[in-house]
């Protein structure tokens, strides 16, 4: 599954780190956040290196819909009521400043990345809710308005409109900035011991360490696993699906996302909590909807994305944990990774350079609020449920009963084992205990992967870890004879 971005842009490879190094700042992760943080710090005069477990932009950056916007669903009315108004303003202005910063960098660096100024819309049938949100966003300084007739291919005519937003090609942008940076690929950081990062062949000693790894892999301190879960969603790139310019997203769980890129319409939806797709059929459902809305359309690409959802709806950007003043984190971007990556870059640059940033307080990872507490309790309940399931749930079938091309949990000599049976009958055996914190993995038939419902780690059918926070594979090396 290649996204439209990877089909249209490739980024040159880098070497693996081979020898021990010292640096002022080490950034872990070469996705949009890691690249922007490193680039901003280097521009501010810091010596920076980036350590990437796989390839540049090989994580969620290649799967984004690449909307650069401060419109993050309908959040501002809620932010004003759940936080102090000042914090809601910080959130709004940090994101508006991030859009402006993209504009500045793209212009100054002359980056050809299909950057387009456009409007962002949330559509809904709930007129009052949209009007309330427009009022809230405008009160915080955003150019927001209620639109009674948005041009959409279906009957949901009201929308909330933000002006001065943008969209682009994320890989063309990142490719340009990456050329200016020292990056080591295929260099996973296994452990971090105060100022020392351990990779398979060498160590890095850094004054400051930034975790820009989508989901932080150090569990203690920080406890990010108790404060976030992950969700998946699916995207189709459609040709011959004409649509009005603009970026659209629906309000509510069964809503869809639209934006144009070149001759394509990027049509997304069918989101769910990671590890909660046992029945499958997400791509088919999205294709069916596409046929209904755009009967003449043709599919040019399809792919999926994964997002970290923080307990109180606000990303964690800043000091990793109390007692670790030289560790920084950037995570919990929800579906808004482009703008939030830039917010992270500006905040963390200022923190490391000893400069005050007016928007830092609202994103402080060390915050604690009633909203966050109830979110944490909810995450905890889910983890206990899926942990208990591993202990008590009976296997679904025997390996013999599994149809070709299917996966499932089977009984093997009294153990529960994950099995995927290829079309030619080859079996792939995996542990179903997630190596992160022990929850039971679930088979995801749409993507032929083993997914963790607790914090969203994912493994391909061979057992290779493809999404953190887990860092280990789950393959059972020595195959047992099957009954
Ligand atoms: Fe945490 Fe699986 S991702 S237990």
CA distance 252 to 231: 15
Inform me whether the pLDDT recorded for 389 exceeds 60.
no
CB atoms within 10 A of CB 269: 21
Cα-atom radius of gyration of the chain, to the nearest Å? 22
Q: How far is CA 363 from CA 137, 316, 320, 390, 469, in A?
A: 18, 5, 11, 35, 21
| Among 380, 379, 231, 227, CA closest to 313 | 227
Give the 3-state secondary structure of residue 228: strand
The rounded Å distance from CA 468 to ligand 1 centre is: 9
Rounded to an integer, the average pLDDT of 407-420 is 87
Q: What percent of the chain has pLDDT over 70?
A: 91
Measured CA to CA, the distance from residue 118 to residue 164 in angstroms comes to: 6
Distance 229 CA to ligand 1 centre (A): 9
Structure confidence by residue, pLDDT tens digits, 72-111: 999 999 999 988 899 999 999 999 999 999 999 999 999 9
Token pair 């069964």: residue: 254
Supply the DSSP string of 67-90, one letter for each residue: EE-S--SS-HHHHHHHS-HHHHHH
Which of 219, 469, 471, 472 to probe ligand 1 with, by most ligand atoms within 8 A of CB?
Answer: 469
Q: How far is the CA of 151 from the centre of ligand 1 (A)?
A: 42
pLDDT, greater one: 356 or 377: 356
For residue 470, how far is its CA from the centre of ligand 1 (angstroms)?
7
Q: Is 432 in the pocket of ligand 1 (CB under 6 A)?
A: no
User: What is the average pLDDT across 65-74?
Assistant: 97
Any ligand 1 atom below 6 A from CB of 226:
no
Average pLDDT over residues 242-260: 88
Residue 379: predicted pLDDT? 65
pLDDT tens-digit series, residues 136-180: 999 999 999 999 877 776 666 799 999 999 999 999 999 999 999
Cα 34 from Cα 343, distance rounded (Å): 12
Per-residue pLDDT at 384: 60
The mean pLDDT of the chain is: 92
Q: What does the block give as tokens for 115?
A: 């950057």
Instruction: Tell me, using a 6 A CB cutoff, whether residue 436 lines ligand 1.
Output: yes
Composition of the chain by helix, strand, coil, percent to 5: 25, 30, 45
| Ligand 1 closest atom vs CA 434 | 2
CA 233 / ligand 1 centre spacing (Å): 19
Distances (CA, A) of 69 to 18, 25, 84, 161, 234: 39, 29, 22, 11, 20
pLDDT at position 157 is 73
Ligand 1 nearest atom to the CA of residue 439, by list position = 4
pLDDT digits (tens, 9 = 90+) for 349-358: 999 999 999 9
In angstroms, the first-to-last Cα distance of the chain is 34
**Rounded to 5 degrees, what are φ and ψ at 167?**
-145, 160
- Rounded Cα distance, 34 and 209, in Å: 11
3-state secondary structure (DSSP) of residue 12: coil
- By the 8 A CB rule, do 204 and 23 touch? yes
300 lines ligand 1 (CB under 6 A): no
* Ligand 1 site-directed mutation target among 434, 458, 471, 474, most atoms within 8 Å of CB: 434
Q: Is the CB of 454 under 6 A from ligand 1?
A: yes
Question: Ligand 1 centre and the CA of 277: distance in Å?
Answer: 16
Ligand 1 atom nearest the C-alpha of 457 is 3
Ligand 1 within 6 A of 225 CB? yes
Q: Is the CB of 338 within 6 Å of ligand 1?
A: no
pLDDT at 411: 82
The two three-digit tokens of residue 287, written as one number: 């294709």
* Residue 64 pLDDT level (bands cut at 50, 70, 90): very high
| 422, two tokens | 């290829």
Residue range 186-210: average pLDDT?
98
Measuring from atom 4 of ligand 1, which residue has the nearest CA? 437
CA 225 to centroid of ligand 1, rounded, Å: 8
């Amino acid at each position: 599954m290649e996204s439209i971005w990877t089909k249209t842009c490739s980024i040159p490879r880098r070497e693996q780190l081979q020898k021990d190094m010292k640096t002022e700042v080490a950034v872990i992760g070469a996705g949009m956040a890691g690249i922007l943080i490193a680039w901003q710090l280097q521009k501010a005069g810091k010596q920076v290196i980036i350590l990437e477990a796989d390839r540049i932009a090989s994580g969620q950056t290649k799967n984004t819909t690449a909307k650069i916007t401060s419109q993050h669903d309908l959040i501002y009315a809620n932010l004003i009521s759940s936080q102090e108004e000042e914090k809601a303003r910080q959130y709004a202005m940090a994101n508006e400043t991030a859009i402006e910063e993209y504009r500045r960098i793209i212009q100054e660096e002359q980056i050809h990345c299909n950057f387009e100024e456009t409007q962002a819309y949330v559509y809904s049938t709930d007129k009052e809710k949209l009007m309330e949100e427009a009022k809230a966003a405008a009160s915080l300084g955003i150019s927001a308005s209620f639109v009674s007739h948005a041009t959409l291919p279906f009957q949901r005519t009201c929308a909330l409109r933000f002006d001065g937003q943008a969209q682009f090609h994320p890989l063309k942008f990142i490719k340009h900035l990456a050329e200016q940076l020292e990056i080591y690929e295929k260099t996973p950081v296994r452990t971090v011991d105060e100022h020392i990062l351990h990779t398979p062949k060498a160590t890095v000693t850094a004054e400051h360490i930034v975790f820009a790894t989508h989901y932080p892999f150090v569990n203690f301190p920080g406890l990010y696993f108790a404060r976030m879960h992950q969700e998946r969603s699916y995207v189709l790139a459609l040709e011959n699906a004409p649509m009005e310019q603009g970026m659209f997203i629906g309000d509510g769980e069964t809503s869809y996302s639209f934006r144009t890129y070149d001759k394509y319409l990027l049509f997304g939806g069918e989101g769910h909590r990671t590890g909660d797709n046992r029945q499958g059929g997400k791509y088919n459902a999205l294709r069916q909807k596409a046929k209904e809305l755009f009967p003449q359309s043709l599919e040019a690409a399809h792919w999926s994305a994964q997002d970290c959802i923080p307990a109180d709806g606000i990303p964690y950007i800043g000091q990793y944990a109390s007692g670790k003043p030289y560790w920084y984190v950037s995570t919990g971007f929800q579906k808004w990774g482009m703008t939030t990556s830039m917010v992270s870059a500006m905040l963390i640059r200022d923190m490391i350079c000893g400069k005050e940033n007016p928007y830092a307080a609202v994103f402080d990872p060390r915050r604690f609020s009633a909203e966050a507490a109830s979110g944490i309790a909810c995450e905890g309940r889910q983890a206990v449920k899926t942990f208990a399931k591993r202990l008590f749930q009976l296997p679904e079938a025997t390996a013999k009963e599994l149809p070709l091309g299917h996966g499932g949990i089977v009984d093997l000599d009294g153990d529960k084992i994950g099995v995927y049976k290829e079309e030619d009958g080859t079996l792939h055996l995996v542990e179903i205990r997630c190596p992160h914190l022990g929850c039971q993995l679930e088979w995801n038939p749409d993507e032929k992967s083993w997914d963790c419902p607790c914090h969203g780690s994912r493994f391909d059918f061979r057992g290779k870890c493809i999404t953190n926070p887990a860092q280990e594979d789950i393959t059972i090396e020595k195959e047992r004879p099957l009954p």
